[in-house]
Amino acid sequence: MALLSSHLFPFSAVHRRAPTTSTTTNLFPWNKPRKPNDTVKFLYSPLVQRHVRLDERFVTRFNVPANAQDLIHNVGATVGVLGGAYGLVSSFDDLTRRNILDQDSNSSEARYFAAFVPLVNFLRLLVNGLSLVSDQGLVKSVTRKGDPKELLRGPLYYVGILMLCAVVFWRESPIGVVSLAMMCGGDGVADIIGRRYGSIKIPYNQKKSWAGSISMFIFGCLVSIGMLYYYSALGHVEFNWENILPRVAFISVVATVVESLPITEVIDDNISVPVVTMAVAFFIFNH
Protein backbone atom coordinates (compact mmCIF):
# COMPACT_ATOMS: atom_id res chain seq x y z
CA MET A 1 0.00 0.00 0.00
CA ALA A 2 2.90 2.33 0.73
CA LEU A 3 4.25 1.68 -2.74
CA LEU A 4 0.88 2.32 -4.34
CA SER A 5 0.23 5.48 -2.38
CA SER A 6 3.67 6.86 -3.13
CA HIS A 7 2.97 6.69 -6.89
CA LEU A 8 -0.61 7.89 -6.83
CA PHE A 9 -0.45 10.49 -4.07
CA PRO A 10 2.79 12.52 -4.05
CA PHE A 11 1.82 14.19 -0.77
CA SER A 12 1.03 10.96 1.06
CA ALA A 13 2.38 10.01 4.45
CA VAL A 14 5.25 8.13 2.85
CA HIS A 15 6.64 11.43 1.59
CA ARG A 16 6.44 13.03 5.00
CA ARG A 17 8.70 10.51 6.67
CA ALA A 18 11.87 11.78 8.27
CA PRO A 19 15.14 11.28 6.44
CA THR A 20 16.70 7.93 7.07
CA THR A 21 20.18 6.61 6.48
CA SER A 22 19.21 2.97 6.26
CA THR A 23 19.95 0.88 3.21
CA THR A 24 16.24 0.79 2.58
CA THR A 25 16.50 4.32 1.29
CA ASN A 26 19.00 3.29 -1.32
CA LEU A 27 16.96 0.29 -2.38
CA PHE A 28 13.68 2.22 -2.50
CA PRO A 29 14.48 5.76 -3.66
CA TRP A 30 10.85 6.80 -3.54
CA ASN A 31 11.12 6.77 0.25
CA LYS A 32 13.54 9.68 0.13
CA PRO A 33 12.13 12.99 1.38
CA ARG A 34 10.94 15.07 -1.48
CA LYS A 35 10.99 18.79 -2.01
CA PRO A 36 8.00 20.56 -3.50
CA ASN A 37 9.76 20.65 -6.88
CA ASP A 38 10.29 16.89 -6.69
CA THR A 39 6.54 16.44 -6.63
CA VAL A 40 6.22 18.52 -9.81
CA LYS A 41 8.93 16.45 -11.44
CA PHE A 42 7.13 13.30 -10.38
CA LEU A 43 3.88 14.49 -11.90
CA TYR A 44 5.71 15.17 -15.20
CA SER A 45 7.82 12.09 -15.12
CA PRO A 46 8.64 10.30 -18.42
CA LEU A 47 6.28 7.53 -17.40
CA VAL A 48 3.37 9.93 -17.17
CA GLN A 49 4.35 11.63 -20.43
CA ARG A 50 4.48 8.25 -22.14
CA HIS A 51 0.94 7.53 -21.03
CA VAL A 52 -0.17 10.95 -22.28
CA ARG A 53 1.35 10.30 -25.69
CA LEU A 54 -0.34 6.93 -25.87
CA ASP A 55 -3.63 8.56 -24.97
CA GLU A 56 -3.12 11.18 -27.69
CA ARG A 57 -2.44 8.51 -30.27
CA PHE A 58 -5.47 6.64 -29.07
CA VAL A 59 -7.63 9.75 -29.50
CA THR A 60 -6.32 10.64 -32.95
CA ARG A 61 -7.35 7.24 -34.22
CA PHE A 62 -10.94 8.33 -33.84
CA ASN A 63 -10.55 11.65 -35.64
CA VAL A 64 -13.11 11.98 -38.43
CA PRO A 65 -11.42 12.22 -41.88
CA ALA A 66 -11.88 15.46 -43.80
CA ASN A 67 -13.94 13.84 -46.57
CA ALA A 68 -16.22 12.24 -43.98
CA GLN A 69 -16.66 15.62 -42.29
CA ASP A 70 -17.67 17.15 -45.62
CA LEU A 71 -20.16 14.33 -46.15
CA ILE A 72 -21.63 14.84 -42.69
CA HIS A 73 -21.93 18.59 -43.28
CA ASN A 74 -23.58 18.10 -46.68
CA VAL A 75 -26.01 15.52 -45.34
CA GLY A 76 -26.82 17.80 -42.42
CA ALA A 77 -27.40 20.75 -44.75
CA THR A 78 -29.63 18.62 -46.98
CA VAL A 79 -31.69 17.43 -44.03
CA GLY A 80 -31.96 20.99 -42.75
CA VAL A 81 -33.13 22.34 -46.11
CA LEU A 82 -35.66 19.54 -46.58
CA GLY A 83 -36.92 20.02 -43.04
CA GLY A 84 -37.26 23.77 -43.55
CA ALA A 85 -39.05 23.30 -46.88
CA TYR A 86 -41.43 20.76 -45.36
CA GLY A 87 -42.15 23.11 -42.47
CA LEU A 88 -42.79 26.01 -44.88
CA VAL A 89 -45.17 23.97 -47.04
CA SER A 90 -46.95 22.66 -43.95
CA SER A 91 -47.45 26.20 -42.69
CA PHE A 92 -48.94 27.19 -46.06
CA ASP A 93 -51.29 24.20 -45.91
CA ASP A 94 -52.37 25.22 -42.42
CA LEU A 95 -53.04 28.79 -43.55
CA THR A 96 -55.06 27.45 -46.48
CA ARG A 97 -57.20 25.28 -44.21
CA ARG A 98 -57.96 28.35 -42.13
CA ASN A 99 -58.94 30.29 -45.29
CA ILE A 100 -56.18 32.81 -44.61
CA LEU A 101 -54.17 31.99 -47.74
CA ASP A 102 -55.32 30.90 -51.19
CA GLN A 103 -52.88 28.46 -52.78
CA ASP A 104 -54.64 28.26 -56.12
CA SER A 105 -51.69 28.06 -58.53
CA ASN A 106 -54.01 28.99 -61.40
CA SER A 107 -54.45 32.48 -60.03
CA SER A 108 -52.51 35.34 -61.57
CA GLU A 109 -50.80 36.09 -58.26
CA ALA A 110 -49.34 32.59 -57.91
CA ARG A 111 -46.40 33.19 -60.26
CA TYR A 112 -45.41 36.34 -58.40
CA PHE A 113 -45.64 34.54 -55.09
CA ALA A 114 -43.36 31.82 -56.47
CA ALA A 115 -40.89 34.45 -57.68
CA PHE A 116 -40.66 35.97 -54.21
CA VAL A 117 -38.10 33.43 -52.97
CA PRO A 118 -35.58 34.06 -55.78
CA LEU A 119 -36.26 37.78 -55.33
CA VAL A 120 -35.09 37.56 -51.72
CA ASN A 121 -31.94 35.77 -52.85
CA PHE A 122 -31.47 38.34 -55.61
CA LEU A 123 -31.51 41.17 -53.08
CA ARG A 124 -29.22 39.24 -50.76
CA LEU A 125 -26.64 38.75 -53.51
CA LEU A 126 -26.97 42.38 -54.54
CA VAL A 127 -26.31 43.92 -51.12
CA ASN A 128 -23.40 41.56 -50.44
CA GLY A 129 -21.93 42.11 -53.90
CA LEU A 130 -22.05 45.88 -53.37
CA SER A 131 -20.43 45.35 -49.92
CA LEU A 132 -23.36 47.04 -48.19
CA VAL A 133 -23.35 44.08 -45.80
CA SER A 134 -20.79 41.33 -45.28
CA ASP A 135 -21.77 37.67 -45.22
CA GLN A 136 -18.54 35.69 -45.53
CA GLY A 137 -20.41 32.39 -45.50
CA LEU A 138 -22.38 33.43 -48.57
CA VAL A 139 -19.27 34.74 -50.35
CA LYS A 140 -17.23 31.59 -49.71
CA SER A 141 -20.04 29.22 -50.70
CA VAL A 142 -21.09 30.97 -53.91
CA THR A 143 -17.95 32.59 -55.33
CA ARG A 144 -14.85 30.86 -56.68
CA LYS A 145 -12.17 33.34 -55.63
CA GLY A 146 -13.78 34.78 -52.50
CA ASP A 147 -14.39 38.17 -54.10
CA PRO A 148 -17.81 39.66 -53.17
CA LYS A 149 -18.00 41.31 -56.61
CA GLU A 150 -18.42 37.85 -58.13
CA LEU A 151 -21.90 37.81 -56.60
CA LEU A 152 -22.91 40.53 -59.05
CA ARG A 153 -22.17 38.34 -62.05
CA GLY A 154 -23.01 34.63 -62.44
CA PRO A 155 -24.95 34.07 -59.20
CA LEU A 156 -27.02 37.23 -59.67
CA TYR A 157 -27.81 36.36 -63.29
CA TYR A 158 -28.76 32.84 -62.21
CA VAL A 159 -31.35 34.05 -59.71
CA GLY A 160 -32.60 36.66 -62.17
CA ILE A 161 -33.33 33.96 -64.75
CA LEU A 162 -35.23 31.99 -62.12
CA MET A 163 -37.48 34.98 -61.48
CA LEU A 164 -37.95 35.59 -65.20
CA CYS A 165 -39.03 32.02 -65.91
CA ALA A 166 -41.38 31.96 -62.94
CA VAL A 167 -43.12 35.22 -63.88
CA VAL A 168 -43.19 34.90 -67.68
CA PHE A 169 -43.63 31.17 -68.29
CA TRP A 170 -44.79 29.86 -64.91
CA ARG A 171 -45.97 26.26 -65.32
CA GLU A 172 -48.08 26.82 -68.40
CA SER A 173 -45.29 26.55 -70.95
CA PRO A 174 -42.50 24.00 -71.40
CA ILE A 175 -40.17 26.81 -72.48
CA GLY A 176 -39.41 27.95 -68.96
CA VAL A 177 -39.10 24.36 -67.70
CA VAL A 178 -36.54 23.37 -70.35
CA SER A 179 -34.62 26.65 -69.95
CA LEU A 180 -34.25 26.16 -66.22
CA ALA A 181 -33.38 22.49 -66.69
CA MET A 182 -30.53 23.31 -69.07
CA MET A 183 -29.20 26.06 -66.82
CA CYS A 184 -29.56 24.27 -63.48
CA GLY A 185 -29.21 20.61 -64.41
CA GLY A 186 -27.14 20.74 -67.58
CA ASP A 187 -24.76 23.65 -67.01
CA GLY A 188 -24.49 22.93 -63.29
CA VAL A 189 -23.44 19.30 -63.78
CA ALA A 190 -21.15 20.22 -66.69
CA ASP A 191 -19.08 22.42 -64.39
CA ILE A 192 -18.70 19.64 -61.81
CA ILE A 193 -17.87 16.88 -64.29
CA GLY A 194 -15.62 19.15 -66.32
CA ARG A 195 -13.50 20.06 -63.31
CA ARG A 196 -13.20 16.45 -62.27
CA TYR A 197 -12.74 14.62 -65.57
CA GLY A 198 -12.16 17.39 -68.09
CA SER A 199 -8.61 16.54 -69.14
CA ILE A 200 -9.48 16.47 -72.87
CA LYS A 201 -10.31 20.02 -73.94
CA ILE A 202 -12.52 21.18 -76.79
CA PRO A 203 -10.31 22.42 -79.69
CA TYR A 204 -11.97 25.82 -80.03
CA ASN A 205 -12.15 26.50 -76.28
CA GLN A 206 -9.41 25.23 -74.00
CA LYS A 207 -11.43 26.24 -70.93
CA LYS A 208 -14.14 23.69 -71.78
CA SER A 209 -13.87 19.92 -71.95
CA TRP A 210 -15.58 17.12 -73.83
CA ALA A 211 -16.58 15.51 -70.53
CA GLY A 212 -18.31 18.69 -69.38
CA SER A 213 -20.15 19.24 -72.66
CA ILE A 214 -21.29 15.61 -72.94
CA SER A 215 -22.52 15.64 -69.36
CA MET A 216 -24.38 18.90 -70.01
CA PHE A 217 -26.22 17.37 -72.95
CA ILE A 218 -27.10 14.17 -71.07
CA PHE A 219 -28.18 15.75 -67.80
CA GLY A 220 -29.88 18.65 -69.57
CA CYS A 221 -32.03 16.16 -71.46
CA LEU A 222 -32.75 14.03 -68.39
CA VAL A 223 -33.68 16.93 -66.14
CA SER A 224 -35.83 18.52 -68.85
CA ILE A 225 -37.73 15.30 -69.54
CA GLY A 226 -38.08 14.60 -65.84
CA MET A 227 -39.54 18.03 -65.09
CA LEU A 228 -41.86 17.89 -68.10
CA TYR A 229 -43.07 14.46 -67.04
CA TYR A 230 -43.69 15.76 -63.53
CA TYR A 231 -45.75 18.70 -64.80
CA SER A 232 -47.62 16.39 -67.15
CA ALA A 233 -48.37 13.90 -64.36
CA LEU A 234 -49.87 16.71 -62.29
CA GLY A 235 -52.09 17.65 -65.21
CA HIS A 236 -50.64 21.10 -65.79
CA VAL A 237 -49.58 20.42 -69.39
CA GLU A 238 -50.14 17.72 -71.98
CA PHE A 239 -47.52 16.45 -74.40
CA ASN A 240 -47.18 14.11 -77.30
CA TRP A 241 -44.03 12.36 -76.07
CA GLU A 242 -43.11 11.06 -79.51
CA ASN A 243 -42.74 14.66 -80.63
CA ILE A 244 -41.44 16.21 -77.40
CA LEU A 245 -38.41 13.94 -76.91
CA PRO A 246 -36.57 14.80 -80.17
CA ARG A 247 -37.35 18.48 -79.61
CA VAL A 248 -35.85 18.41 -76.15
CA ALA A 249 -32.79 16.61 -77.54
CA PHE A 250 -32.33 19.27 -80.22
CA ILE A 251 -32.69 22.10 -77.70
CA SER A 252 -30.11 20.37 -75.47
CA VAL A 253 -27.66 20.18 -78.36
CA VAL A 254 -28.01 23.90 -79.09
CA ALA A 255 -27.64 24.83 -75.42
CA THR A 256 -24.57 22.61 -75.12
CA VAL A 257 -22.93 24.23 -78.13
CA VAL A 258 -23.63 27.71 -76.75
CA GLU A 259 -22.17 26.76 -73.37
CA SER A 260 -18.98 25.49 -75.03
CA LEU A 261 -18.31 28.70 -77.01
CA PRO A 262 -15.41 30.93 -75.86
CA ILE A 263 -17.67 33.88 -75.09
CA THR A 264 -17.60 33.77 -71.30
CA GLU A 265 -15.67 37.05 -71.10
CA VAL A 266 -18.38 38.74 -73.18
CA ILE A 267 -21.53 37.16 -71.75
CA ASP A 268 -21.94 34.88 -68.77
CA ASP A 269 -23.15 31.28 -69.21
CA ASN A 270 -25.99 31.95 -66.81
CA ILE A 271 -27.35 34.43 -69.36
CA SER A 272 -26.35 32.97 -72.73
CA VAL A 273 -27.50 29.39 -72.06
CA PRO A 274 -31.04 30.11 -70.75
CA VAL A 275 -31.71 33.00 -73.16
CA VAL A 276 -30.72 30.97 -76.23
CA THR A 277 -32.64 27.98 -74.85
CA MET A 278 -35.75 30.13 -74.46
CA ALA A 279 -35.48 31.42 -78.03
CA VAL A 280 -34.94 27.97 -79.55
CA ALA A 281 -37.61 26.35 -77.37
CA PHE A 282 -40.09 29.09 -78.27
CA PHE A 283 -39.53 28.38 -81.96
CA ILE A 284 -39.51 24.56 -81.58
CA PHE A 285 -42.58 24.24 -79.38
CA ASN A 286 -44.64 26.62 -81.48
CA HIS A 287 -43.97 24.93 -84.84
pLDDT tens, 81-123? 889 888 887 887 787 788 776 666 666 777 888 888 899 999 9
| pLDDT for the residue 16 | 45
- Measure the CA–CA gap between 94 and 89, rounded to whole angstroms: 9
| pLDDT for the residue 138 | 87
E strand or H helix at 201, and its extent? Answer: strand 201-202
104: left (phi over 0), alpha (psi -120 to 50) or beta: beta
Cβ-proximal residues to 166 (8 Å cutoff; 6+ apart), any chain: 111, 114, 115, 118, 176
Q: Is the pLDDT confidence value at 74 over 70?
A: yes
| pLDDT for the residue 59 | 47
Closest CA to 194 of 180, 179, 214, 217: 214
Is the separation of the CB atoms in 171 and 105 below 8 Å? yes
DSSP state of 185: I
Model pTM greater than 0.85? no
DSSP state of 209: E
- Pinpoint the alpha helices (H) of the chain: 2-8, 23-27, 36-43, 46-60, 66-97, 110-114, 116-129, 136-142, 154-168, 174-180, 188-197, 210-233, 241-260, 269-285
Cβ-proximal residues to 264 (8 Å cutoff; 6+ apart), any chain: 207
| pLDDT for the residue 170 | 83
Three-state secondary structure call for residue 207 = strand
